Amino acid sequence: MDDVLAPHTIPKAKSDYRPVYARGMATAVPLHEARQDEMRDFMVRSAHIAPERMGRMSRVCANSGVKRRYAAVPPKNMEGLRRWPARNAAFLQCADALLVEANQKALAQAGLTPDDIDVIVSINTTCTVAPDLAARQIGLLGLRPDVRRVPLYGFGCAGGAAGLTQATEIARTHPGSRVLLQVIELCLVNLDPETDSEPHFVAAALFGDGAASIVLSTDGPGLCSVGQGREHCWPGTTHALGWHPGDVGLTITLHPILPKIIRAQFRAVAEHFFEEVELDQDSIENYIAHPGSLRIVDAVEESLMLSKGTLADTREVWANYSNMSAATVFFVMKNALDRHASGPFLMTAFGPGLTAALVEGEIACA
């Protein structure tokens, strides 16, 4: 597949941008822990996969690299959620509480209260609800009734990085404002234990549930500074990755071409980004990469010509939390912060489109 990076004009160079700081960051997961072997055995018992295919599906689970993940609803209870309204209700019951937990922790770290927040950006793909999740937080968290709400839907796994760019631009263009970015993805709520779909069986091995929250402002200092971000959508790849309404929830599309595209074409996208934002790859000390799967992690390392072990934070999050869609990249970021990383970072994530989202910044800034 040939890919052409169309030239366009960037309004300002990196050096002209007002700094935006992440002043607080927190993550949250549901109470139910599911080990990978438990998930595999449950799906083997319940899924309607032909015996001649089941051996291969079981090996996918065993070789995924995931040790455990967290679930809003234990898989064994999924059989009681056979219709979409029940799935959505289960999502909201857990999501409201997880977002309150993550938001409160992030606000406390930032030294702020809910009343201080001017804008709330919500990222989600695994639930459909109106009013949006931010509106529900007004009463639950205690946000001001006049808080501006910006819901972002449909980015999937790219949503964390893409949403960070959007929230950062809002903070940058409104100096002094406080922007709360909240992310919630409960992928397993959409799990169909009785599936006959191989991609859906594979998704049961790769995905989990989680939430994250970040407080952004031009008022510093902070945990890190967030610079510029870009998105690149490869034409003709909408079939490769996505979520679609199914009989009992969302049905996932996972095409094996994904790692091949990333391995062959992501470097050109990254180099174009580096040129636009005046960033030298040699200066990057931290790679905050979303772990879509181990094959995708390997593809990112190969495409960017990184040495093995560079994406250690990504691999650790993958093993202990799996892929929580948009929320996952912030677990990787928090992992880097908790080990006292410092210096310039590059955040990367891939989602439906096929879309690559990139963000640059610096950890432990002054």
Number of Cα atoms under 13 Å in the Cβ half of residue 157: 30
In the structure, what pLDDT confidence band is assigned to residue 1 with cuts at 50, 70 and 90?
A: very low
- Report the alpha-carbon distance of residue 366 to residue 362 in Å, rounded: 10
Domain residue limits, the chain: 23-217, 223-363
* pLDDT over 90 percentage in the chain: 60
Q: Are 171 and 179 in contact (CB under 8 A)?
A: yes
* Tokens (6 digits) for 293: 């799967």
What CATH number has the domain spanning 23-217?
A: 3.40.47.10
CA distance to 26, 58, 301, per residue, from 332 (Å): 11, 27, 15
Quote the pLDDT of residue 243.
Answer: 65
Q: What is the pLDDT of residues 119-163, one digit of tens each?
A: 999 999 888 888 899 999 999 999 999 999 999 998 989 999 999
Non-local (6+) Cβ contacts of 157 within 8 A are 290, 292, 323, 325, 326, 328, 349, 350, 351
Joined together, the tokens standing for residue 260 give 């091949």
Residues 6 or more apart in contact with residue 75 via CB below 8 angstroms: 34, 38, 39, 42, 43, 188, 191, 193, 204
pLDDT classification of 109: cutoffs 50, 70, 90: very high
Q: Is the pTM of this model over 0.85?
A: yes
pLDDT one-digit tens code per residue, 13-45: 454 567 899 999 999 999 999 898 888 888 888
CATH number of 223-363: 3.40.47.10
Residue 83's pLDDT band (cuts 50, 70, 90): confident
CB within 8 Å of 180: residues ≥ 6 apart: 103, 106, 107, 117, 119, 120, 121, 143, 213, 214, 215, 216
Name the average pLDDT for the chain: 88
**Same fold? 23-217, 223-363:** yes
Helix, strand, coil tally for the chain in percent (to 5): 45, 25, 30
pLDDT at 246 over 70: no
**Which pair of tokens denotes residue 39?**
């998930």
